[in-house]
Each structure stands twice: as structure tokens, then as C-alpha cells.
Amino acid sequence: MEQQSEPKIKYSVIWRLLPFFRPHIYLMSLAILSVLVVTGVKLVQPIILREIIDKAIPSGNVDYAIKASMMFICCLLVGAVVSYFQIQLLTKVGSRIVAGIKSDLFSHAIHQGMRFFDRQKVGNLITRTESDTNQLKGLFSFATVQIFSSVILLFGIIFIMIREQPWFGAGVCIVIPVTAVVLIHYSGYMRSIYKRVREKNSEMVGYVTEYIQGIPLIQLYGRKKEAARQLAEMNIEKYDIELWTLKLDCVFFWPTFGFVTETLFLLGVLYYGTGKIFEGKMTLGTLIMFIELMRQFNYPLREISQVIAQLQSSLAAAVRVFEILDTPTDVRDDGKIARKLQPIELIEFQNLNFAYMDELVLRDVNFTVNRGEHIALVGASGSGKTTCINLLLRFYDPTSGAIRADGDDIKNYKISEWRRGISLVLQEVYLFPGTIMENLKAFSPDIPDEEVIKASQIIGVHDFIMSRKDGYQTIMAERGANFSQGERQLLSYVRALVRNPDLLILDEATSSVDVITERMLQKSMEKLMERRTAFIIAHRMSTICNASKILVFDKGRIIEAGNHDQLMLLNGVYCKLALLQAVSEAKKIIPDTGNEQLNTPEFVMEMLAEEISP
């Protein structure tokens, strides 16, 4: 869940950030070298002015004045050119590092178990992957070099002043801590405001993301104005905070602080300098040099303050990023079995228990599946059948108990190796932007096109694919929006078949297609399931009545097990489900004659006896 408060900054995070600089140490070294050059020319410029005023002008040495002036101009040019390349270097370094962090963050997230995504909001993950990582870009580029540059410039100015006028330099050193205290308190206050801005931004991203996913319902229930109004209110709150921040930072504090400090420094220099000039202990050129140095003196103080604020903001973002990177996956991929997974002869579910959010949803589940068997899982929503499949797929690991493949706990296999032989068909079909061919290959270019075409012909979708203008190269919209639900379901069947799976899982795989398409799919799936072990989750009796074994789940337990005939003879839960569904379907197609005898469940069941028998 998205945290409502700013994570507490741990300064050990700074040490964790340092390794990200290591691959770019060469570019950072060049950037630091450029800092020394730019800082050096800034310090040299006031000294050159003093030389012109104190030596060139009084002596009337025009050549010396021209040379000094040219040197001053060269310093300006060198500073500008080096600063330009410095910006290029730092932008490149920052972008590369942030791109690497985003990649690590995304990779870490997609390797997590399903518990991770159950607990994280989509908007939260987007904010941390995009916004928080971008917040680090300044830290990895300009902030690091800027604070180094400011400190060097500050100490350079103090060194020159102490060297020229020790007492005045000492006085400046006394002023620095006072100024620093003011800036630190100010940056702390601004950090709390920026924190509120980030919280509002994260809140808005989450709101937009979640509402976009629910657009059909928003439009259906007329919630468009209400959704827009809520977003507008959130946006106004964020705008008000940002506007107050802008006014405080750019209108009130810095102009006032800059004017006051620069004025005080200038008055101090003039008061001290003019006295020394009248005493003959300071030249006019030295006074001009001091004025120029004091003009520059305020810049590093301001930059250090801003960098400290940015550093705090970046560290807060880094904490949020590391919270994701430090989240251990609850599904450990430390398989010890080195051999390639062979066709499985026996799958055993042994004393399986699973708790979700401290609520036990599977209780002591035990059953075995032999190679080639088709196992149907039946039960009400929330009974545990889908959870059982999720454990088989290792989307989760059991709280206790084990799933064994030919005697080996499936946790002993590498996750990628275990899943390689499994195909999954869901009720909600996920298709990705790209061509039909790429989707059917699941973006595995090593699969030959011929295999895809062959699978399409088996399922019976080859003709409808070729009826499209670009055939298998037809571009699919996001989530296959340019195909009907039934067409998407058919394509997901082909995708499952292309993998040539040893284990097939069908989760409500025919619930979104019409009766004609369903019957066509059932014939195709019979070919698909030949010599394959299959797990079927379905409510339609026509889908599961031919299964080798049917497991009836209720409140996380298996309460009935057997084939269709055996369960019907038990006259238990399964039998009631089958009869209830048959009666429900019959009432849709048998007209109401007004004859109560003809509309009894017994009469209906006689009419549908062939439909419900295997």
C-alpha cells in the first residue's frame, strides 16, 4: 500500500547510492576536473581586475592592460565553454544512472510473487518507477558536482581574503555559520512543503491510473463529472501548495535574503576597505577585488542551501525506491535441481495450506494427478480453486505443505524451468501491443512461424487471421482492443498451444465465448489436451463433465472428488450444481407453456439428459 507519510531518511542511503556512480567514474572525473577549471577562472577574474586597476592603469602600461583584459575575456570564454561541456557530461551521467535504476526497479518488481502486487497499488508503483527515480537524476548529476563546486569556490574566496586581509577574512568566516543556520532552517521548512507536493503528486497518479482502468464503469454509471471534479480538487490542492512554494522561494525569501546579505557584505567591504585605503594599507584594486569576491560569495551559499534541499528530496525519493528494491520476493528462486524438467508422470498436492493476509484460504488440500489426466476444479468463487492453481504456477508459495513433481518439491526447480512446460489460458485475456505473430509467440523469436500457423489451424483461427489485411502481421491495439472478446480468447488458445506444453491450465477459458465458438473450442481443446496433463477451472458442466477427475472445493477444502458419474451418484454438492445449471440453461430455451408439469425440474432434466451426461 502507498505510504501516507514520507519515509524517514536514513543517511546510510547515501552509501548505497555511491555504487551507482562507479560505472561512470570516468565521466564523473571529467566533470570534477571541469569544476576545478570553472572555479579557478572565477577566482582568477577578480585578481585580474586588481592587476588592471593597481598596475596597468597607474603605470599607463597599455600593453599590460590589453593583455590583462584579454586574459579576463579568455577566462570568461573558458568558463562558458567548460560549463557547457560540464552540463553535457552531467546530463549524460544522470540519465544513464537513472535509466539503470528504473531498469533494476522494473526487473525487481516483475520478478516478485503475486503477494507483492496484491499489496502495492498500480499508481504507487508507477510513481516510484518514474517520478521518484527522476527525482534522483539531479542528485546523480548536478547536485553532487554543484555542492563540490560551491564548497571549492567558497573556500577559494575565503583563502584569498585571509591571504590579503587576515582580519577581514576572519570576520567573513564568523558570518558563514550564521548564514548557514538560516539557510538550513529554511531548507528544512521547504523540504516539508516539497514533501506535501510529492504526496499530492503520488496521490494524483494513483487516482488517474485506477480510474482509467475503470473507465467503462465510470461512463456507464455517469461518474465522469464526479471523477473529473475529484481530480480537479486534488489538482487545485497541489497547485496551491506549488504556488505557495514558488512565491516563498522565488518571490520572498531569495530576493530578500540575497538583497540583505549582498548589501551587508558590500557595506562591510566598503566600510572596512575605505578605512584601509585612507590608512594606506589597501589599494583600490584590492577593494574592487574584495567587492567582486563578496558578490560571488553569496552564490555558493545559496547553491549549497538549494543542493541540501534537493539532496533531502532526492534521499527521500531514494528511500522510496530502495523500499521496492529491498522488498524480498516471497517466491524464492533458488532451485537446486540442475537437470532439465522432464515430462511429469505424477503431481502430488500434499497437506497444502495457504494463508493470504493472515486468512487461511486453503486447508489441508491433498490429491494426486497422473500424467495425461484432466482435473477439473469446481466450487463457488473464493472456495480456493484458483489459489490452488496459483500455487502450482508458483505465483505464491504455500504456507505449509508441498506440491511435488515426481517426488521433488517444485520449489527445488528454477522458476523459469518449472514454468517453461506450462501454458495458461485465463478468462481475462492479456494481449500486448505488437503483431498477432509476436503475441502468439509470446515475443519468443526462436519459435518458427510455421509452428504458429500450425497451431492456429488446429484451433481453427487461421482463416480469420488471414482475413485481416496484414494477416499474422496485423498490429494489435493495447490489450487487443481491435479484436472481439471471443477472438482474443481464441488467440490465447493458440498462444497456449504454440508452447507445446506438458501441463495445461484453463481458468474459465470458455466463459467469454458464444455457444457455437465454445463447441468449436472444445473440439480443438480435446486435441490440445491429448497426452497432456490439464487443470480446468470452469462453471459450465459441458467443459468439465469429461474430466478424468473433478475436485469440488468449499471454503478452502476439497469436499468431493471423483468423475462426473461418480459425483452425480453421490447426490452431493456437485450433483446439485449440475442440476441447478442444467435447469437454469433449460429455462432459457424451453418456452413457458403454462403447464406446471412441463416446467418441473424433473421434466427439464429429462429434456437435457444428453447434455449433462458425459
**What confidence score (pLDDT) does residue 5 get?**
41
**Mean pLDDT to the nearest integer, 39-49:** 86
Average pLDDT of span 162-188: 75
Q: State residue 612's pLDDT score.
A: 42
| Residue 292 confidence (pLDDT) above 60 | yes
pLDDT at 350 over 90: yes
Which CATH architecture does the domain made up of 98-325 adopt? Up-down Bundle (1.20)
Phi, psi torsion values for 607, nearest 5 degrees:
-65, -30
pLDDT exceeds cutoff 70 at 371: yes
Whether pLDDT at 464 is above 60: yes
Give 263 or 66, the one with higher predicted confidence.
66
- Please tell me which residue, 337 or 67, carries the higher pLDDT value: 67
Nearest CA-CA partner of 369 in 558, 560, 541, 532? 532
Which run of H or of E encompasses 353?
Answer: strand 346-356
Helix (H) / strand (E) element for 489: namely helix 485-498
Mean pLDDT of 460-474: 87
Q: Which pLDDT score is estimated for 611?
A: 44
What's the mean pLDDT in 509-529? 64
Q: How confident is the model at residue 513 (pLDDT cuts 50, 70, 90)?
A: low
State the pairing for strand pair 533-537/549-554.
Answer: unpaired
Q: What is the pLDDT of residue 512?
A: 53
To the nearest whole percent, how much of the chain has pLDDT over 70? Answer: 80
pLDDT confidence of residue 254: 67
pLDDT over threshold 50, residue 386: yes
Question: pLDDT tier at 222 (50, 70, 90 boundaries)?
Answer: low
* Percentage, residues of the chain above pLDDT 90: 7
The confidence score (pLDDT) of residue 586 equals 57
Find, among 391, 341, 337, 336, the residue nearest to 502 by Cα: 341
Q: Which of 150-164, 165-179, 376-390, 406-420 has the lowest mean pLDDT?
A: 165-179
Model confidence, pTM: 0.63
Q: Would the pLDDT of 436 be above 60?
A: yes
Beta strands at 374-379 and 549-554: parallel, antiparallel or unpaired: parallel
CB 433 within 8 A of CB 471: no
pLDDT of residue 574: 86
The confidence score (pLDDT) of residue 4 equals 41
- 584 or 78, which is more confident? 78
The confidence score (pLDDT) of residue 604 equals 46
Distances in Å between the Cα of 233 and the Cα atoms of 195, 210, 229 are: 19, 17, 6
Asked if pLDDT for residue 544 goes beyond 70, the answer is: yes
Exposure string for 315-350, b = 16+ CB within 10 A, e = fewer: bbbbbbbbebeeeeeebeeebebeeebeebeebbbb
Checking if the pLDDT of 514 tops 70, the result is no
Residues facing 507 on adjacent strands? 537
Q: Which residue has the cell 481530480?
A: 231
The confidence band for 1, taking pLDDT boundaries of 50, 70 and 90, is very low
Q: What is the per-residue pLDDT for 458?
A: 81
352 band by pLDDT with thresholds 50, 70 and 90: very high
Binned at pLDDT 50, 70 and 90, residue 608 comes out as very low
Query: Is a pLDDT exceeding 60 seen at residue 509?
Result: no
Q: 592 falls in which pLDDT band (50, 70, 90)?
A: low
Total Cβ atoms within 10 A of residue 85: 13
* Whether pLDDT at 33 is above 80: yes
Predicted confidence band of residue 8 (pLDDT cuts 50, 70, 90): very low
Produce one character per residue of 360-390: b if its CB has 16 or more CB atoms within 10 Å, e if not. ebbeebebebeeebbbbbbbeeebbbbbbbb
**What confidence tens digit (pLDDT) does each residue in 562-577 have?**
998 898 888 888 888 8
Residues 6+ apart with CB under 8 A from 246: none
What pLDDT is recorded for position 388?
92
Mean pLDDT, rounded, for 165-170: 77
Least confident of 41-50, 215-224, 250-259, 602-611: 602-611
CA atoms within 13 A on the CB side of 282: 24
Q: Identify the band that residue 351 occupies on the pLDDT scale cut at 50, 70 and 90.
A: very high
Q: Comparing 78-92, 344-358, 400-414, 473-487, which segment has the lowest mean pLDDT?
A: 473-487
Judged against a pLDDT cut of 90, whether residue 525 lies above it is answered with no
What is the average pLDDT value for the chain, to the nearest integer? 77
Question: 605 falls in which pLDDT band (50, 70, 90)?
Answer: very low
pLDDT over threshold 80, residue 178: no
- Return d(Cα 614, Cα 607) in angstroms, integer: 15
Number of H helices, E strands in the chain: 25, 12
Which of the four pLDDT bands, split at 50, 70 and 90, describes residue 516? low
What is the rounded CA–CA span in Å between residue 552 and residue 144?
A: 62
> Please, what is the Cα angle at 168 between 164 and 170, to 5 degrees?
105
3 or 172, greater pLDDT: 172
Taking 90 as the threshold, does the pLDDT of residue 255 lie above it?
no
Q: Which residues pair with 435 in a beta bridge?
A: 475
Give residue-wise pLDDT tens across range 105-124.
887 777 777 777 767 766 67
Q: Of the given ranges (60-74, 172-186, 436-450, 515-529), which has the lowest mean pLDDT?
A: 515-529
**pLDDT of amino acid 220:** 59
pLDDT at 549: 92
Q: What's the confidence (pLDDT) of residue 150?
A: 82
Task: Say whether 532 sits in a helix, a strand or coil.
Answer: coil
- pLDDT at position 551, please? 93
pLDDT for 169 beyond 80: no
- pLDDT tens digits along 261-289: 777 777 777 777 787 777 777 788 888 88
Lowest mean pLDDT among 235-249, 448-462, 533-547: 235-249
